[in-house]
A and B are shown apart, each in its own frame.
Chain A
Amino acid sequence: MSQNVPAELRYTKDHEWARAAGSEVTVGITGFAVEQLGDVTLVNFDVKAGDTVAVGKAFGTIESVKTLSDLFAPVAGKVVRVNEELTKKPELVNEDCYGKAWMVVIAATDPKAAESLMDAAAYGEHVRAAAG
Chain B
Amino acid sequence: MSSPALRRTSLYPEHAALHARLVPYAGWEMPVQYTGIVDEHQAVRTSAGVFDVSHMGELRLAGPHSAAVVDYLVTNDTKKLTDGKALYTCACNEGGTILDDLIVYREREDAWLIVCNSANRDKMSAHFAKAAERHCDFEDASDRTALIALQGPRAFDILRRLDGDGASLASLMSFHFRPATLAGLPVTVARTGYTGEDGVEIFSRWDDAPVLWRAILAAGKDVGCKPVGLGARDTLRLEARLSLYGNDIDETTNPLEAGLGWVVALNKGDFVGADALRAIAAAPLPRKLVAFEVTGRGIARHGYPLRDEAGREVGLCTSGSPAPTVGKNVGLGYLPAEMAAVGSRFFVDCRGKNIEAVVVKAPFYKRAKA
- A: which residues have CB within 8 A of B? 38-39, 41-42, 44, 61, 63-66, 68, 87, 132
Contact = CB atoms under 8 A, between A and B. Distances in A.
Contact of B37 (A63, A65, A68): A65
B254 interface: no
A65 B324 contact: yes
A30 to B, nearest CB: 17
Interface size class of B (residues with CB under 8 A): 10 to 19
B79 interface: no
Interface of B: 1, 32-33, 36-38, 231, 235, 297-299, 301, 321-322, 324, 329, 351
Given A38-B36, A39-B37, A39-B38, A65 B298 contact: no
B347 to A, nearest CB: 16
B231 A65 contact: yes
A38 B297 contact: no
B330 to A, nearest CB: 12
A27 B301 CA distance: 27
Nearest to B353: A44
Given A65-B231, A65-B324, A66-B231, A42 B298 contact: yes
Nearest to A65: B37
B37 A132 contact: no
A83 to B, nearest CB: 16
B297 A41 contact: no
A41 B301 contact: no
Contact of A38 (B37, B298, B351): B37
Given A38-B33, A41-B299, A42-B298, A66 B38 contact: no
A66 B37 contact: yes
Given A38-B33, A38-B37, A39-B37, A68 B322 contact: no
29 contacts: A38-B36, A38-B37, A39-B36, A39-B37, A39-B38, A41-B299, A41-B322, A41-B329, A42-B298, A42-B299, A42-B322, A42-B329, A44-B297, A44-B298, A64-B37, A65-B37, A65-B38, A65-B231, A65-B235, A65-B321, A65-B322, A65-B324, A66-B32, A66-B231, A66-B321, A68-B299, A68-B351, A87-B297, A132-B1
A20 B298 CA distance: 31
A82 to B, nearest CB: 15
Contacts of B36: 38-39
A41 B299 CA distance: 9
Contacts of A68: 299, 301, 351
For B33, B37, B299, B329, which residue has the most chain A Cβ atoms within 10 angstroms? B299
A72 B88 CA distance: 46
Nearest to A35: B21
A42 B294 CA distance: 13
Nearest to B23: A66
A15 B141 CA distance: 45
Nearest to B39: A39
For A39, A66, A87, A132, which residue has the most chain B Cβ atoms within 10 angstroms? A66
Nearest 3 A/B pairs, CB to CB: A132-B1, A41-B322, A39-B38
Nearest to B324: A65
